[in-house]
Amino acid sequence: MTVVLELQSALRSELKDPFGPVSTDTAAVLDAAGDPLVTVGDIVTYHTLDAGRVPDLAFVDERTERVAVDDEVSDGIEDDRFDRVRAIENPPGTLTAALLDALTDALATDERTLVRVDGEEDLAALPAIAAAPDGASVCYGQPGEGVVHVTVGAESRDRVVDLLGRMDGDPPRAFDALGVDPE
């Protein structure tokens, strides 16, 4: 397992401000969602599936707020609802080569992909926003508040690329893997 980027504690406060509007109404979020739809987190993915939409790409780790999700959530994220399932390792607070590869591979296909993460998937929203096409939607959970819906565009991408570029590790390798020009 190769860690490409690691979030240092000095940048954690920048993740507290959501990258888009926060909602508790899954149906309204899905009505406004573009294609492809990327979900990050078990609760967001579960509610998306429960509302009748299969994300084009979903990242789950069977945890929410650092505790195991309940059986209803775990059982509700069924592998057979997706065309492909990948299993990767990604330690907390990092972005590994495997996560970046799974992300770019999934975005390059029309197959709905579920990525099961051993470790933590929380930061996957960042490279998803950086790599997804304009108009795509990236949805992730904001603890205690609801789901954040990011419509990918120049403003959200620039904010994420700036953040990724300041993370510890090898930002040029991450940008190359994501096909993103940081300039």
Does 43 belong to an annotated binding site? yes
Does 88 belong to an annotated binding site? no
How many other C-beta atoms lie within 10 A of the C-beta of residue 117? Answer: 25
Contact between 36 and 57 (Cβ < 8 Å) = yes
- Quick one: the chain helix, strand, coil %, rounded to 5? 40, 25, 35
Does 44 belong to an annotated binding site? yes
> Which segments are annotated as binding site for GTP?
42-44, 61, 121
> Which segments are annotated as binding site?
42-44, 61, 121
